[in-house]
Structure 1
Amino acid sequence: MRALACTIFTIGAMLVAASARAQTYNPNFPVCLQTYALGGGYIDCSFTSLAQCAASASGRAAQCLNNPYFAQGDRKLPRHRGVY
């Protein structure tokens, strides 16, 4: 009886659990479109300007944002000059 209850609980948990998608940011484009939906939204980083993204977001539950992982060419990080 205990094994049957555990099996039913496991199957129920698997059916209720929502599938999770990995969220990736494309580092080749500076602007992303974040959409909102009841079942979950998504992020699309395939825009070259905020104006282009805004045209795509118009009339939708979405917003444009700067891509935090945008690779800006051969940009070098500033050196930290501290006392060691």
Structure 2
Amino acid sequence: MRRARFALVATGLLFSGVPAHAQTYDPSYPVCMQIYGPVGYFDCRYTSLEQCRFLAVGRSASCAVNPYFPQKRSKAPGRPKQAD
């Protein structure tokens, strides 16, 4: 009985230290809203800063560019082709 109780308490302590969300930023969207409060979190479901700011009005929140959103790479300017 003592061992079972110890195992139960040890398991509870182990799982209480695990974070609720594995990833803070969703890399699928370019803009995140940071909500402030007792339980602050990031909500990365916005396609533009304007959309995020519109929905943040009246809330304790701010909008920022998602640092994990993959940026499109522009092609580096190459050498012009020579005419034959």
TM over 0.5: yes
In structure 2, distance between residues paired with 1:42 and 1:36: 7
With over 3 angstroms needed to count, the CA separation of the structure-2 counterparts of 1:75 and 1:65, relative to structure 1, is same
Q: How many Å separate the matches in 2 of 1:75 and 1:27? A: 19
Deviations 1:37-64 (A, max 9, x none): 12x2110111010000001110000000
Unaligned runs of 5+ in 1: 1-12, 77-84
With structure 2 as the length reference, what TM-score do the two structures score?
0.59
Secondary structure at the aligned position of 1:25 is classed as coil
Matches within 5 A, 1:8-19: none
Max radius of gyration: which structure?
2
What letter corresponds to residue 35 of structure 1 in structure 2? I
- Equivalent AA in structure 2 for residue 46 of structure 1: R
In the other structure, the counterpart of 1:42 is 41
- The CA deviation at 1:24 is 2.0
Divergent runs of 4+, >3 A? 17-23, 73-76
TM-score normalised by L of structure 1: 0.59
**Identical-pair percentage:** 52
The answer for the alignment partner of 2:26 in structure 1 is: 26
Contact 1:27 1:71 in 2 (8 A): yes
**Matched-pair contact (CA < 8 Å) for 1:23–1:43:** no
The alignment's C-alpha RMSD in Å is: 3.2
| Structure 2 runs not aligned, ≥5 long | 1-12, 76-84
SS at match of 1:69: coil
